[in-house]
Amino acid sequence: MEISALQKVRYTYQPKLPASLSGEVSDIALELGAPTESVADQGDLKTLFKRTYGKPLAAFVKGKNDRLGRLLKVGVILSGGQAPGGHNVIAGLYDGLKKGNRGSTLYGFLGGPIGLIENKTVEITDSFIDRYRNTGGFDIIGSGRTKIESPEQFAASLETAKKLNLDAVVIIGGDDSNTNAALLAEYFLEQGSSTQVIGCPKTIDGDLKNEHIETSFGFDTAVKTYSELIGNIERDANSAKKYWHFIKLMGRSASHIALECALQTHPNICFISEEVLEKKLSLDQIVDQICASVVKRAANKENFGVILIPEGLVEFIPEVGKLIGELNNLLALHAGEFGKISLFSDQVSLLGEKLSPSSAELFMRLPQDIARQLLMDRDPHGNVQVSRIETEKLLIGLTEKKLKELKAAGTYSGSFSAMGHFFGFEGRCAFPSNFDADYCYSLGFGAFVLIASGLTGYLSSIKNLVAPASQWIAGGVPLTMMMNMEQRHGSKKPVIKKALVDLEGAPFKAFAAERDAWALTTGYLFPGAIQYYGPPEICDEPTRTLKLEHQG
């Protein structure tokens, strides 16, 4: 099979490791801190996680350790949406295991958590892993969104662990998948099993982060890929001077991706969902904000611009969020009845009369395509799939309508022609940046050390990420430490707390300080493509979000 020149060269890239993980494995010692508490709801969580609650933080330091040479059997799962660097987590884990003991085995569970439930595996070997080093994608073993939820699924997972005689399972996933990892770790202990469970923080959305997890892997590469494309569009917009580009960006709930892309490219407008929610901005107010920029720029003869829209925006606009919430409940409640109806008009009449009056009014007012998209299949957690709602088209339509009114009123005389874009999948499987390649490899290697040290219920953690990789601090964070109780499907459930954009945080403040100028003037920034070879200030640079958070 033909491979690209870059892929060939990337196979030989040796990811950088923190100093504490370099050298002989017998020189990696473990330091344990004091017992920890969860971020909230300590009482409930202590009861739910009797065996894994309150474990200490773990740090790797230079020192003697005779446990890391043990013969181990480990299974690894890729869970949820793709994120650049997943292959390198597996490579780091594999290399760690083999460095510890050549006889150790790594199985990949196929297709996500379902692979563990159904015992579908592939054994990872030297020649197999070598084909995936430093490449994007999750195609090495595939991924999936199955949640290990029912007693039968937990029991089947245990059965697989027993059959394969596993010392550990590593779950590479986001907040939901790592919540699952915490539950599985507790369950295995409760059942008297010695199989350990270790997580690794993945998601391009960047919303699995906290004091100990500075960023999730994949975010760096995804935002750099999108920013390159946005910069290119900005330059085209400024060359042609005739289009307004409405660009929707992935990021299911949090707007970290949109915020980072704005910092990297200086668009005319970027919405931050968390701010929209806090200010309770209505759809009309959002459109007014767009029109204000269009009108002012038209007065300067600049009938073009670039607008960034986080894909989760619709759910954060209070009236739309309320409508989506009601639809989620109705669709769950009337699933059988709804499934039998194929005509959209019949679906609308079934749901329309059950919606609250304000939601029904909004639902009827929405363009038909958008209303249809709001009724599409929910994800396994019962949520609307925001990546499939064409928010960029909705905003284009409403802006055109409003500008017509302004023209008729004599307050606008420019020309408006808009193009919609959606950047999401373009960034999820890109070749990992050097940052993600190094970070992921270190996370995987760290997962091996946590396993060989006998820990369970931990998330592999690498800190101090704005420093050169040799100075990164590696260790593990107890999963229960990041948890709280949240209302899910009518009852309180333990979950890892999602990190939304902090409106008091340095990245948002840096953006807020500049955005009024960006709305009027043309001050675009062109970051260009990710560079893999060349000066470290271009190749190894972390995101602006990470740097600002470290300064702030």
Catalytic annotation, residues: 205
Give the list of residues 6+ apart from residue 485 with CB closer than 8 angstroms, or none. Answer: 40, 41, 44, 45, 492, 493, 494, 495
Which residue number, 126 or 377, has a Cβ lying nearer to ligand FBP?
A: 377
- How many beta carbons lie within 10 A of that of residue 172, not counting itself? 33
Confirm or reject binding of residue 203 to ligand FBP (CB under 6 A): yes
x-or-dash pattern for ligand FBP, window 163-182, by CB under 6 A? -----------x--------
Q: Residues 95, 167, 205, 390: which binds ligand FBP (CB under 6 A)?
A: 205
Confirm or reject binding of residue 250 to ligand FBP (CB under 6 A): yes
Confirm or reject binding of residue 18 to ligand FBP (CB under 6 A): no
Rounded Cα distance between 81 and 94, Å, is 22
Q: Residues 112, 201, 251, 432: which binds ligand FBP (CB under 6 A)?
A: 251
Per DSSP, helices labelled H in 300-390 are 313-316, 318-333, 335-339, 344-352, 357-365, 368-374
Q: Which residue is associated with the tokens 């007014």?
A: 288
x-or-dash pattern for ligand FBP, window 72-91, by CB under 6 A? --------xx-x--------
Closest approach, Cβ 143 to ligand FBP, in A, equals 8
Closest approach, Cβ 17 to ligand FBP, in A, equals 25
Which residue number, 203 or 221, has a Cβ lying nearer to ligand FBP?
A: 203
The length of the chain, given as a count of residues:
552
Sheet holding 244-249, edge to edge: 269-270, 305-310, 244-249, 418-423
Confirm or reject binding of residue 147 to ligand FBP (CB under 6 A): no
x-or-dash pattern for ligand FBP, window 400-429, by CB under 6 A? ----------------------------x-
Q: Residues 55, 147, 209, 252: which binds ligand FBP (CB under 6 A)?
A: 252
Footprint on residues 110-139 left by ligand FBP (CB under 6 A): none
Rounded Cα distance between 474 and 540, Å, is 18
Rounded Cα distance between 46 and 44, Å, is 6
Give the up-direction half-sphere exposure of residue 448: CA atoms within 13 A in the CB hemisphere. 30
Closest approach, Cβ 200 to ligand FBP, in A, equals 12
Closest approach, Cβ 253 to ligand FBP, in A, equals 9
Give the list of residues 6+ apart from residue 359 with CB closer than 8 angstroms, or none. Answer: 319, 322, 323, 326
Q: Residues 119, 303, 347, 387: which binds ligand FBP (CB under 6 A)?
A: 387
x-or-dash pattern for ligand FBP, window 27-66, by CB under 6 A? ----------------------------------------
- How many beta carbons lie within 10 A of that of residue 47, not counting itself? 11
x-or-dash pattern for ligand FBP, window 494-523, by CB under 6 A? ------------------------------
Give the up-direction half-sphere exposure of residue 27: CA atoms within 13 A in the CB hemisphere. 7
Q: What are the beta bridge partners of residue 173?
A: 201
Provide the token pair at 125. Answer: 């070997």
Left if phi > 0, otherwise alpha if psi is -120 to 50, otherwise beta: which for 376? beta
Closest approach, Cβ 356 to ligand FBP, in A, equals 27
Which residue number, 184 or 351, has a Cβ lying nearer to ligand FBP?
A: 184
Site of interaction with ligand FBP (CB under 6 A): 80-81, 83, 145, 174, 203-205, 250-252, 311, 385-387, 428
